[in-house]
Protein backbone atom coordinates (compact mmCIF):
# COMPACT_ATOMS: atom_id res chain seq x y z
CA UNK A 1 0.00 0.00 0.00
CA UNK A 2 1.33 3.45 -0.80
CA UNK A 3 2.15 5.78 2.03
CA UNK A 4 -0.60 8.21 1.05
CA UNK A 5 -3.23 5.45 0.95
CA UNK A 6 -2.04 4.19 4.32
CA UNK A 7 -2.39 7.65 5.87
CA UNK A 8 -5.82 8.07 4.35
CA UNK A 9 -6.92 4.67 5.61
CA UNK A 10 -5.92 5.51 9.15
CA UNK A 11 -7.74 8.81 9.01
CA UNK A 12 -10.92 7.17 7.71
CA UNK A 13 -10.67 4.31 10.22
CA UNK A 14 -10.22 6.77 13.06
CA UNK A 15 -13.17 8.93 12.01
CA UNK A 16 -15.42 5.90 11.53
CA UNK A 17 -14.43 4.39 14.87
CA UNK A 18 -14.72 7.61 16.86
CA UNK A 19 -17.95 8.61 15.14
CA UNK A 20 -19.39 5.14 15.60
CA UNK A 21 -20.30 4.65 11.96
CA UNK A 22 -19.81 5.68 8.36
CA UNK A 23 -18.77 9.25 7.64
CA UNK A 24 -20.08 11.43 4.87
CA UNK A 25 -18.03 11.56 1.73
CA UNK A 26 -16.64 15.09 1.44
CA UNK A 27 -13.52 14.76 -0.61
CA UNK A 28 -12.13 18.24 0.02
CA UNK A 29 -12.53 17.83 3.77
CA UNK A 30 -11.01 14.38 3.83
CA UNK A 31 -8.19 15.33 1.48
CA UNK A 32 -7.43 18.40 3.58
CA UNK A 33 -7.32 16.46 6.79
CA UNK A 34 -4.58 14.20 5.52
CA UNK A 35 -2.77 17.00 3.67
CA UNK A 36 -3.43 15.51 0.27
CA UNK A 37 -4.49 17.25 -2.90
CA UNK A 38 -7.89 16.19 -4.22
CA UNK A 39 -6.37 14.24 -7.16
CA UNK A 40 -3.94 12.43 -4.81
CA UNK A 41 -6.78 11.76 -2.42
CA UNK A 42 -8.88 10.24 -5.23
CA UNK A 43 -6.02 8.00 -6.28
CA UNK A 44 -5.42 6.87 -2.69
CA UNK A 45 -9.10 6.26 -2.07
CA UNK A 46 -9.28 4.20 -5.25
CA UNK A 47 -6.37 2.12 -3.97
CA UNK A 48 -8.19 1.50 -0.67
CA UNK A 49 -11.43 0.56 -2.43
CA UNK A 50 -9.57 -1.81 -4.77
CA UNK A 51 -7.85 -3.41 -1.76
CA UNK A 52 -11.30 -3.92 -0.19
CA UNK A 53 -10.38 -1.83 2.83
CA UNK A 54 -12.81 1.01 2.36
CA UNK A 55 -16.39 1.09 1.13
CA UNK A 56 -18.00 4.14 -0.46
CA UNK A 57 -21.74 4.01 -1.03
CA UNK A 58 -24.66 6.42 -0.96
CA UNK A 59 -22.36 9.34 -0.18
CA UNK A 60 -20.87 7.61 2.84
CA UNK A 61 -17.43 6.22 3.53
CA UNK A 62 -16.85 3.28 5.81
CA UNK A 63 -14.21 0.69 6.50
CA UNK A 64 -14.59 -2.99 5.66
CA UNK A 65 -15.16 -4.42 9.15
CA UNK A 66 -13.24 -7.69 8.89
CA UNK A 67 -10.32 -6.04 7.12
CA UNK A 68 -10.31 -3.17 9.58
CA UNK A 69 -9.28 -5.52 12.33
CA UNK A 70 -5.93 -6.42 10.85
CA UNK A 71 -5.01 -2.96 9.76
CA UNK A 72 -6.45 -0.95 12.62
CA UNK A 73 -6.18 -3.62 15.28
CA UNK A 74 -7.78 -4.25 18.60
CA UNK A 75 -4.75 -2.69 20.27
CA UNK A 76 -5.68 0.57 18.67
CA UNK A 77 -8.73 1.35 20.78
CA UNK A 78 -8.18 5.08 21.30
CA UNK A 79 -7.64 6.11 24.93
CA UNK A 80 -10.66 8.43 24.88
CA UNK A 81 -12.92 5.63 23.67
CA UNK A 82 -11.57 3.24 26.29
CA UNK A 83 -12.13 5.83 29.01
CA UNK A 84 -15.71 6.44 27.83
CA UNK A 85 -16.49 2.71 27.99
CA UNK A 86 -14.93 2.31 31.46
CA UNK A 87 -16.85 5.30 32.79
CA UNK A 88 -20.12 4.04 31.30
CA UNK A 89 -19.57 0.58 32.83
CA UNK A 90 -18.49 2.12 36.17
CA UNK A 91 -15.07 0.43 36.01
CA UNK A 92 -16.74 -2.93 36.60
CA UNK A 93 -16.57 -6.17 34.61
CA UNK A 94 -20.00 -6.33 32.97
CA UNK A 95 -20.01 -10.13 33.11
CA UNK A 96 -18.99 -11.01 36.70
CA UNK A 97 -19.16 -7.63 38.43
CA UNK A 98 -15.51 -7.70 39.46
CA UNK A 99 -14.02 -4.26 40.07
CA UNK A 100 -10.79 -5.27 41.73
CA UNK A 101 -8.86 -6.25 38.62
CA UNK A 102 -7.36 -4.70 35.50
CA UNK A 103 -10.19 -4.26 33.03
CA UNK A 104 -9.98 -5.00 29.32
CA UNK A 105 -12.20 -4.03 26.43
CA UNK A 106 -14.45 -6.86 25.27
CA UNK A 107 -16.11 -6.73 21.86
CA UNK A 108 -19.81 -7.57 22.18
CA UNK A 109 -19.79 -8.64 18.55
CA UNK A 110 -16.39 -10.33 18.32
CA UNK A 111 -13.76 -8.78 16.10
CA UNK A 112 -13.54 -12.06 14.16
CA UNK A 113 -17.18 -11.58 13.19
CA UNK A 114 -16.76 -8.03 12.03
CA UNK A 115 -17.35 -6.29 15.35
CA UNK A 116 -15.85 -2.82 15.39
CA UNK A 117 -14.05 -0.76 18.00
CA UNK A 118 -17.04 1.45 18.73
CA UNK A 119 -18.51 2.52 22.04
CA UNK A 120 -21.65 0.51 21.33
CA UNK A 121 -19.63 -2.63 20.65
CA UNK A 122 -17.27 -2.41 23.60
CA UNK A 123 -17.79 -3.30 27.25
CA UNK A 124 -15.49 -3.42 30.26
CA UNK A 125 -14.49 -6.99 31.09
CA UNK A 126 -11.97 -8.61 33.40
CA UNK A 127 -9.27 -10.65 31.68
CA UNK A 128 -10.75 -13.95 32.80
CA UNK A 129 -14.25 -13.29 31.42
CA UNK A 130 -12.81 -11.80 28.25
CA UNK A 131 -10.79 -14.95 27.54
CA UNK A 132 -13.60 -17.31 28.54
CA UNK A 133 -16.03 -15.55 26.24
CA UNK A 134 -13.49 -15.51 23.42
CA UNK A 135 -14.96 -15.17 19.95
CA UNK A 136 -18.50 -15.93 21.04
CA UNK A 137 -21.58 -13.81 21.44
CA UNK A 138 -22.82 -13.38 25.01
CA UNK A 139 -25.82 -15.66 24.26
CA UNK A 140 -23.48 -18.41 23.16
CA UNK A 141 -21.33 -18.16 26.25
CA UNK A 142 -23.64 -17.84 29.27
For the chain, the residue count is 142
Interacting residues with Zn ion between 34 and 53 (CB under 5 A): none
Calculate the dihedral angle through the C-alpha atoms of 82, 86, 89, 92, rounding to the nearest 10 degrees: 130
List the one residue from 72, 116, 129, 133 that touches Zn ion (CB under 5 A): 129
Nearest-approach distance from CB 142 to Zn ion, in angstroms? 12
Nearer to Zn ion, 67 or 133 (CB): 133
List, as own/partner pairs, every contact residues 34-43 make where C-beta atoms lie below 8 angstroms and the sequence separation is at least 24, other chains included: 34/4, 34/7, 34/8, 36/4, 36/7, 36/8, 40/4, 41/8, 43/4
* Binding-residue pattern over the window 96 to 125 for Zn ion, x denoting contact by CB under 5 A: x-x---------------------------
Q: Residues interacting with Zn ion, by CB under 5 A?
A: 93, 95-96, 98, 126, 129
Amino acid sequence: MSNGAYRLYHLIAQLVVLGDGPISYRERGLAGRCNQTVPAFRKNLRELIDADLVIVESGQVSITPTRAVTAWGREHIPAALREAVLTRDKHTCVYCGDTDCPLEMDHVIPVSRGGLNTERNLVASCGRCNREKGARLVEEWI
